Amino acid sequence: MQRILSRGEIENLDRTSMPRLTQPTERSVFQERANRLRQLAADSAIGDYLRIMAYVADAQQAALLKYTDIPGATKEQIERAQAHGMPPLQAAGWQRDPVWLAILSDVVQQVRNQDDLPDAVHVICKDLLTAIVTGSPELERLADALLARFNEDVDPARAPFVMAALQVYWTRLAIDFNEGDLPIITPFGVCPCCGSLPVSSIVRIGGSREGIRYTTCSLCSTEWHIVRVTCTHCEDTEKVAYHTIEDGEEAAIKAESCGKCNTYRKIFYQNKDQMVEAVADDLASIELDVLMGEEGFFRVNGNPYLWQKNESEE
């Protein structure tokens, strides 16, 4: 039986043997997500949506294996990042290669080809493909807004597809990046590779990662270590609490809240469910989000597969 380490044991670990981060696995990163989405869809109230996102993840995996030559960070960008302790693949403000639109086209087309796709999703796919062909500047504006985490200019219907393409783009950059070129220290709470926010965290099992908590980047799929019982947003350790819908201590999924900054993110325990996946399980556990909202806590950032309409536009 796997054992979760206590807080004291975690602090006494030999940090030289514990991986600081794990870069995404090329042949499985999105496929594992797709498989988990299908598994979760079987018993979910939002099963239909999870199955659609599984198609998206399938398409992402195909695109990741197809597009293997995306321009990465230059020597100057790497040196600047090292000098200032900043993520070298900083998403906000990055000069994207036009190949990201080809990735988007492939993802949308593969999803559109599914036989059981709802009519509304067909319409979204058709509109996106038309926008790509006509060179609509709206797609670049939407991509910029998503990467900068702005609420304005975000179309919630198109956003999951555009974000899916951006995920493929940055996951490829993260896979190809030499870990040794990362700065030794980067800002707390953001991905050390691309500077994006984590979607959730997982307490891992096995080997040097046994009992260690890793957060997963919402953009490039990189995982990096953050000490447990620590707010992943403000780094507070005094007012951290855990919330579940049922099963208490045996729950594989909890919301980790912070009484200091009044935010939360979800945390998953692989010793309770070995198949947990940071994006899929976060999306499928929307009931926990409702509970946390009722208790007055706020999500730091949403799930990359789910976007809400800006309230000011309603």
Whether residue 218 lies inside any domain: the answer is no
Q: Is residue 43 part of a domain?
A: yes
- pLDDT tens-place string over residues 97-138: 999 999 999 999 999 999 999 999 999 999 999 999 999 999
Domain-embedded: residue 311: no
Residues sharing a CB contact under 8 Å with residue 239, sequence separation 6 or more, in sequence order: 231, 258, 259, 260
Q: Considering the domain boundaries, does residue 101 fall inside one?
A: yes
* pTM (2 d.p.): 0.92
The reply to whether 93 falls in a domain is yes
Q: What is the mean pLDDT of the chain?
A: 92
Q: CA–CA separation, 193 vs 148, rounded Å?
A: 15
Q: What is the pLDDT of residue 11?
A: 47
Question: How far apart (Å, rounded) are the C-alpha atoms in residues 271 and 296?
Answer: 29
For 28-83, write each residue's pLDDT tens digit. 999 999 999 999 999 999 999 999 999 999 999 999 999 999 999 999 999 999 99
Give pLDDT tens digits for 124-174.
999 999 999 999 999 999 999 999 988 777 999 999 999 999 999 999 999
Q: Tell me the mean pLDDT in the region 250-269.
A: 96
pLDDT surpassing 80 at residue 310 = no
Q: Has residue 213 been placed in a domain? A: no
Q: What is the pLDDT of residue 227?
A: 96
**3-7, 124-128, 299-303: least confidently modelled range:** 3-7
List phi, psi (to 5°) of 246.
Answer: -160, 170
Residue 148's domain spans which residues?
27-181
Tokens of 267: 């945390």
Q: CA nearest 305: which of 80, 67, 107?
A: 107
On whether residue 231 sits in a domain, the answer given is: no
Mean pLDDT of 201-208: 95
Number of C-beta neighbours around residue 223 at 10 A: 22
The answer to the question of residue 144 being in a domain is: yes
| The total number of structural domains that make up the chain | 1
CATH code for position 176:
3.90.1670.10
Which range is least confidently modeled, 79-83, 124-128, 181-185, 309-313?
309-313
